[in-house]
Structure 1
Amino acid sequence: MNKIVFFLLLFVISCQQKPGKIVINQEKMLENLQVMSDSLDQNPQIDKLAFWSGKLKQKDFSKTGSALAYIHYNLAKNLAKSNIDSSKNHINIALNLIEKEKGFNALKFTVYNGAGLISEHEGKFYQSVYYFNKSAAIIMNDDSLKCKPLAKVICLLNAAQDNNKISQYPKSIEQNQLALKILKKMPEDHYKYNFRAYSQLFTACEESNIYKADSLLFYLKKLKHISVKTNDPMQIRFTNEHTAHYYTLSSQYNEAIHYYSLVKQYDAGILSADPESPVAIKNLYTTIANLIDLRVHAEQFPEAEVLIKQADKIEGRHLQILSYYEKCLNKQAKLHYYLAKGDNFRAQNETSEVLELKDNILRNSGIQATEEMATIYELQAKDKSIYGLNKTIDYTTNRLERNKLLLFIVGLLALLAVSWVLLLYFFQRQKRQKQEKEKVLLQQQLLRTQMEPHFIFNTLSALQSFIRFDEKEKSIKYLSQFSKLLRSSLELSRKNYVPLDQELEAIENYLSLQQMRFEYAFAYEIITPDTDTSALLIPPMLIQPFVENAIIHGIGNHSDKGAIIIEIFSQENQLLVKITDNGKGYESTSNAKPNHQSLSGTIARERLAILAKENSIKTNIEIISNEKGTVVLLTLPVRNQRY
């Protein structure tokens, strides 16, 4: 027994010593490969694909994860333009290899950035955002990172650009500012990247909730200075566009029209040079839509009408090229035009089309995000222990051959075999549980995206009613308030759990809109518990559908003064919500049955079933309806964000 313990201790000590040697060898191999790569860049005549394919076949690199990852990265880089499928395969292998290694931040930065570029080339936006942010995070957290400064700058700018698109403005501002800091330390003047950084900072500052005029003016001056110095037509174009945005924010519409007209002139020239260019078509179409809005604000209706005809002409010729977002931008501009002209019939038609386009935008973005993030989860869910076990087995075999300890070999292999089976069983079970949880989360996300269009269609019915009866002031006021509610709803729907006070604020906003719709035919009251509601987290968009039913089915046909009471009761891990109305009940509204359910109610039940399974707690929806009114009792899961 003592001999066996001695041999095991000897084996453990040797295992602890060996990895240090492997790390040194890996670093030297990786350094040599990087020198080779720099030499290849200086000799464009050399077939880089053949060179790296040859390196892949060499046995020296088969057991070194970092060097092998670097080879696969270079293969992916050289195959990106000619064979995207093979390129994607190599970058996935590189990701799998490098994530098993400790350290090697410079290589991880390079591989993540490459994965982001390949995902961007494939049109997988959310995957590219994921990898660019991982790469940028390494730069931001490791000041000693050894890689080319320009590569850092390009990665940070790519990540910042994508973060602007998903409204992550603070992160985008931080990444752009770090890119500018690196550029200042470089010996050469990189006007192209300085311009891009200031342009993205202008956009982030403009679109964020905190509007700082001084910051916008500072970035605008920087853009003008660079564009004048380079005399680059594209930079001049974007500088004019940002200048137009600046004047629009300060309501100086004539100045904004002047600069947007310069942008339109440039875009029209590009399209004239290449009439089939999708980018040129989209840019001109979007510029015209923005000009229509500006002309309407400036009450220049004849000019706006000319622009509408131009936009319609482009749309008629290139309908398939234009995205839902670009069409929606144009439809909104036309809606504002018809509202300003008092043409309520056409305004109502444009409202319906805008609603349909926004529905498509929400649906498509939700589906795309779900599919792409599911792929990322699958990449991350790989069993990393198998690679470590195989490496340990190879090392153990070599050591046993050198020492010729036959009894120890048999016992150790048997022990490793049993451990391998047990670990494999354990990790497979963990993997199945993780995949089941991810599946439940994705189902919740899909159900929320189903609920949002229903919520939007029901709420806009009031706006259509105001427009139909030519109540212009009410229409504008209602549209403004509804846009705030829609923004709040979209922000809440992106999260799995939201603070109770934010959810109740959105519901109160919704109730006030419905009061306008029904001409204050009902009153409402929201009774909250004594506890801090901001610390209680609940699933979003579950209470609102039943409040909506209380208004439509309970109060909508009530002849007297209606009333709606929402009471919140907090328990340990549950939240009880009681929604009471004094309507005539389901029996007297359209002869509906007491167990009548709307589409949103059905979706809410499905979501609660998923949440109950995920949290292992009881959830419930109980509806009691009679001639005196209707009571809805909701049992929801709750979390406390303090813990």
Structure 2
Amino acid sequence: MNSFKKNSLFFFLFFFFSGSMQSQESKIDSLKRELQIHKVKDTTRVRVLTKLAFSYQRTDPEKALEYIEEIYRISETINFEKGKAQAFYLRGIVQVSLSNYEEALLYFNKSKKIYKALGMKEGELRCYDAIGVVFYYQGNYRESIKSYEKEIKINEEIGKTKVNYSLLSKIGSSYSELGDYERAIVFYEKALGDATSPEARSICFNHIGTLYCDLGNYPVALENYTQSLMICEKIKDTLQISKSLNNIAIIYNKYENYDKAIEYYERSLKIEEKINNKYGISRVLNNIGVVCKSRGDNKKAIEYYEKSLKIGREVNDKNQISNCLLNLGDMSLILSNNTRALQYYEEAKKINIEMESQRGLCSSIFGIANTYVNQKKYDLALINALKSKELSDKLGIINFKRDTYELLSEIYENTGSYKKAFVSHKQFKILDDSLFNKENINKIAQLEYEYKYKGQLESANNRELKLTQTVKSTSKDLVKSQRVLFLGVIISLLITIILGAIIFFLKLRNIKSKTQNSIIEQKLLRSQMTPHFIFNSLSVLQGMILNKEEGKSINYLSKFSKLLRITLENSRDKMVSLSQELMAIENYLALQNLENELYKYTVLVDGTMNTELFKIPPMLIQPFIENAIEHGFENQKEDREIDVHLNYINKKLICTISDNGIGVDAKKENKNPYKKSLATTITSERLGVLSKDLKMEGSVVIEDRQKYNKQGTIVTLVIPYKIQEQE
């Protein structure tokens, strides 16, 4: 079992203590000079000493303690109670960095008591925050949440209604350890939304990556861990670099890239040893043991587990102790030492009950059941296997459920309950297939993730250039090659559509709520240039080439490729300028009308609007224009009109798309019922999501103009937007 204790909560103490200390390292020399100048033992010297102590608490704890001792002596001499509280608080921080959690709690509580007596709410807040962190490290997640809730209550008392991102993230971590993933992701997403500094965003990406790693969504986990590593390397945060390296190594181990995993673990271990972080050293040693086990090197795996367990016991890190015990239990089973395995699992079970860690408890009970099966004690095995099944069902983790059903099948078969054995085995196969499909989908998602950063726009431009050159060269001998070319284009297009549909269908079934917005955007991108439209465009182009209208065909191809390029450019960004979107719409309408000028269209913008300043989500308007063209003019060959009008009224960006066709009500009454456009449906869903993301109204209303004594259909879009500040 991997150690998933990857949360960087201690890092939050750094920010919560003082926002002005983010650049503290560059000010150390200045503080030392100030200290040399100011020899008087007063509150000013205490203030300078406090900043210096905090600067050294991670890099040189001994030096930090020297400054803290002087803070306390001066404060006691001049009867400066606030200085005493600061000294106790700083001592607590140093003890946390040294993994001495009980001493840390003692000092934080002393500090809190003084701050409370002084009526200093800000000081109380810091202490409750620090106490919550220590409880978390000790595996006491319920108490950790209680401390954070007290912190929220004090914030409300002093009028701070907005909860700090660090506090949100820490509450999410505690819920994650308790197996309440739904609450955890809510708090993590809120934290990321409130995080503004690079350090804060790095931590939030790590948290979100950890949650998805626990849920088995490795591509999304790796993406978040990589984001975190890029940020912390840029700002040279050593501790966070170590945590990110460790997390990425875990993902590589999942992908069975063991050399890469070891490489990242060793880089992380080197950093942890340099700063003497026993907590981090224990975690990395345990994870290296996991890789050794995966490679089949059982002897080395046990050595690393035992080293990790020893350090975990020294610092009383219950979570890490549990992980090591479970791993040693698994190794004992592999080596057929059932008695030893049972001892490890029972001790792990006891610790996980104390911590209320449902995931760890499930693993412990499953290990006990497995051991009893090896000892042929099937009655005891069945009791524990059923408990494991109950917990795994509650947690909803597929691999836990799969392994439990497989074990139940074996138990029932050996006790003669063949019907139950058959049912359990059937459930095992269903879950195994589901896990297999999920792994395949994760691999596909990973390939998409890797491709995303390889230059989509450059590739599109290259394809456009090649297509133009192909048309010019093949026009000289079109009679012989036109059928081959046409069939080749159609086959390529069909293959692309089929493959895209398969990948999209798999992702749609398995993706989590985290990626809901991107799913809708990908749907819209695929539906934006429909196969029907592309087919018609290519048919028109073929007709021009057959009629030897070379100039006209090149003009048509240029407009068609330009529209494709604009569509791709707009789809890469979450927000584009209104002017870009209008350019795409006008190109689309012009291309539809190029051959026979079947439509009269207008695109009007309120004269008071600056379309360069408005930023809107791309590809919201075009699907409704396409719907009007395809469905609005049935049996109407002349006087076809489409009008697009944009207004900015009462801080709402309103777009109306109207036509003079048969009207939506008439379509509904037709014998062939009106089929709602896929693009229209997706755009409606997308508006709902964008409204929440941008915290702004977004809606769509489709009406028959008959109610206004006119002919046709009118679509009213309220578009969420941002206004870009003028430079």
Tell me the TM-score normalised to structure 2 length.
Answer: 0.37
Tell me the TM-score normalised to structure 1 length.
Answer: 0.42
